[in-house]
Amino acid sequence: MSTAVIDAQPLRARVAGAAADACCFDRAASVRVADLVRGTCLCGGLATLSGRSVVIATTSQLTAALALIELDGVARRLLILPPDVDPDHLGALIAGAEIDAVVTDGTVPPQLAALPVRVVCIPSIVPLAERPRARGHTEWLLLTSGTTGVPKMVAHSISGLTAAIAPGASTEPVVWGTFYDIRRYGGLQILLRAVLGGASLVLSSAGEPVGEHLSRLARHGITHLSGTPSHWRRALMSPEIGKIAPRYVRLSGEIADQPVLDALRTMFPRAAVGHAYASTEAGVVFAVDDGCAGFPAAFLDHARNSVEVKIVDGALRIRSPGAALRYVGAGARIAALHDSDGFVDSGDMVERHGDRYFFVGRKGGIINIGGLKVHPEEVESVINAHPRVRMSLVRPKRSPFTGAIVVADIVLTAPFAAGDDEMELRDDILKLCRGALPRHKVPAAISFVPALAVAATGKLARRSA
Amino acid sequence: MSIKLTIMDEMARVAREHGKTLGQLDDDVALLDSGLDSLGLAVLVARLEDRLGLDPFTTSDDVQFPVTVGDFVKAYEHGSH
């Protein structure tokens, strides 16, 4: 098959076909991607990284993007660290992935300082006399965000990562932008789309305010823009939103509800607004382009773009050429990625209404707060440590700003007596939570309830939505 | 307490809890420049539902995302009628 030949080419070789003037921008720098065909941004370190397992630990998205393009087909493995990774987990991750080299653009975290090879990546391309021979397929390792403790590492091939990307048919120049960090699956899809399509890409810089980012997107004439529903809600509240005029607006990474889709259609009446369903493990599953929340039930009837979707116990399972290969490291010992039929359990629960399915939440009740996952049990265990609390139920509540927010229903050991100050107790419990949990896990509101329902399994009854 | 004062009072409380500093809260100030981020605003809306018995942003099917502090206060003032 001719596609297999193209797929076997490393990413850098595919840049050669890119539009000559396509650039990668951040706040401080711009780089012509096609220059990577004859140049390098790895400061003489490219040859030493050949065949190694490399962790990409840069502060900037731009240098990470350049290093990834250069090292596909050169490194044995590429472990991509997202900016919010917990430094305490780095030791377990580099051991689990057998990492022996680090690419950085600044200071190396102490946990990575002992790695034998260290290479600096700069946001500028210098000519390269001799390029190391491509050594074959590179394994890409991405981190999941859905776990407590050390994140799982998920292995992908470049052909899997690019399986959902159709050859570009656009006659007009495309300028991609992403609110989503390219070191996460959703953002990486946008980097790959831009590279394979010969499009420019505008990246955000660390700590850049939304308004400035939007103004910069406008200056570069953004045509295609991607983010989570929470990113888009935040952008819709920025006065600078009116400066951009994208032709294509894409949402992924969280449930896209009807209000956010409608608000985007009103803001950008001429744009196509689509939401994609994808996950780090299952890859890109499908895109919904009819402007409605959920997806047509007919999507389950037959494979679309070689992707099969079925429902088991209310959750979507996916068999796809874009799915990950397996878990790597400690995660591989705990769980298999695929079931015996080769399907990946997404953990995303759906319900059918009429001829559409709608996403109703995560299996096991994981709550998604603007892209950050919360296990209700973790918050409950903190609340339950309070001497006056008998039990608690932490649940999501819809929020226009973050998709969902955490709220808690609490049963006290003894009902309020005369003279009890309800407000004071509430503040005391919240103080306990703030001392033990990151900000997004602290309940936004607390209700004191007389009892909580317990299911037949003896567990707290959790609604799936 | 008027709706506007209740909102300002709760904004100050959420900002304190989240370790944020509130800026000037004139009606034409962009909500995202108020000092609260998306999470802070989400918490604010949940708290205000407790205090005012109203969440104008999730009860309506036709959500207008508030851009300024004035838009935000107005959503509550209209919703309470």
Mutate to test the interface with B, among A212, A215, A399, A448 (most CBs of B within 10 A): A399
Return all residues near A199 (Cβ < 8 A) that are at least 6 apart: A19, A22, A168, A173, A174, A175, A176, A193, A224
pLDDT at A70 over 90: yes
Contacts of B33 in chain A (CB under 8 A): 211
Q: For chain A, what percent of residues have pLDDT higher than 90?
A: 63
The packing angle between helices A185-197 and A61-71, to 10°, is 60
Q: What is the pLDDT of residue A384?
A: 87
Is residue A96's pLDDT more than 80? Answer: yes
Q: Does the beta-carbon distance from A233 to B38 stay under 8 Å?
A: yes
Residue A3 pLDDT: 42
Q: What is the pLDDT of residues A129-149, one digit of tens each?
A: 888 777 789 999 999 875 567
8 Å CB contact between A224 and A177: yes
Q: Which residues contact A128 (CB under 8 A, 6 or more apart)?
A: A38, A39, A40, A46
What is the Cα–Cα distance from A458 to A213, expressed in whole angstroms?
49
Taking CA atoms, B57 is separated from A233, A334, A399, B48, B79, in Å, by 12, 41, 8, 11, 9
Q: What is the pLDDT of residues B34-71, one digit of tens each?
A: 999 889 999 999 999 888 988 888 766 666 788 999 99
pLDDT at A149: 74
Flag whether pLDDT at A464 surpasses 80.
Answer: no
Nearest to A263 among B32, B43, B65 (CB): B65
Sorting pLDDT into bands at 50, 70 and 90, what band is A457?
Answer: low
d(CA A334, CA A327): 9
Residue-wise pLDDT tens digits, A114-129: 999 999 999 999 999 8
Does residue A213 sit at the B interface (CB-CB below 8 Å)? no
Q: Decide if A454 contacts A350 (C-beta within 8 A).
A: no
Does the structure show a pLDDT above 90 at A465? no
Q: Is A127 exposed, middle or buried (0-12, 13-18, 19+ CB in 10 A)?
A: exposed
The yes-or-no verdict on residue A4 having pLDDT over 50 is no
What is the ipTM for the molecules in this complex?
0.85
**Between A371 and A444, where is the model more confident?**
A444
Which chain B residues have a beta carbon less than 8 Å from that of A394? none
How does the average pLDDT of chain A come out, rounded? 89
Size of interface A-B (CB pairs under 8 A): 77
The string of pLDDT tens digits covering residues A33-53 is: 999 988 999 999 999 999 999
Beta bridge partners of A127: A39
| pLDDT at site A146 | 57
Which segment of A21-30, A107-116, A325-334 scores lowest on mean pLDDT?
A325-334
Q: Specify the CATH class of B3-79 in words.
A: mainly alpha
Nearest CA in chain B to A371: B39
First to last CA, chain B: 16
* pLDDT at res. A408: 95
Q: Is A47 near chain B, with CB under 8 Å?
A: no
Which domains are delineated in chain A?
Answer: 2-349 (3.40.50.12780), 366-448 (3.30.300.30)
* Record: contact A401-B62, CB cut-off 8 A: no
Whether A445 sits inside 8 A of B46 (CB atoms) is yes
Those residues with Cβ within 8 angstroms of residue A94's Cβ, 6 or more apart along the chain or in another chain: A55, A79, A111, A112, A115
State the smallest CA–CA distance between residue A361 and chain B in angstroms. Answer: 17
Between A37 and A192, where is the model more confident? A192
**How confident is the model over A54-72, as a mean pLDDT?**
97
Given a cut of 70, whether residue A350 has pLDDT beyond it is yes
pLDDT tens digits along A154-166? 999 999 999 999 8
Residue B43: list chain A partners with CB under 8 A. Answer: 405, 444
Contact of A437 with chain B, judged by CB distance below 8 Å, is answered with no
Tell me whether residue B59 is exposed, middle or buried, using C-beta atoms within 10 angstroms of its C-beta: 0 to 12, 13 to 18, 19 or more. exposed
Q: Are strands A403-412 and A389-399 parallel, antiparallel or unpaired?
A: antiparallel
Beta strand residue intervals within A81-182, DSSP E: 101-104, 117-120, 126-127, 139-143, 153-156, 175-178
> Residues A255-277: pLDDT tens digits?
888 888 999 999 999 999 999 99
* Contacting A residues, span 360-399, partner chain B, CB-CB under 8 Å: 369-370, 397-399
Residue ranges of domains in chain B: 3-79
Which pLDDT band holds residue A231 (cuts at 50, 70, 90)? confident
DSSP A427-449: HHHHHHHHHHS-GGGS-SEEEE-
> Are A263 and B58 in contact (CB < 8 Å)?
no
Q: Round to whole Å and give the CA distance between A324 and A345.
A: 12
Long-range contacts for A215-218 (Cβ within 8 Å, ≥24 apart)?
A: A215/A240, A215/A243, A216/A25, A216/A27, A217/A177, A217/A243, A217/A244, A218/A243, A218/A244
Q: Nearest residue of A to residue B42 by CA position?
A: A401
Q: What is the pLDDT of residue A148?
A: 62
Give tens-digit pLDDT for A306-322. 999 999 989 999 999 99
Contact B18 A407 (CB under 8 A): no
Please report the pLDDT score of residue A166 as a whole number: 83
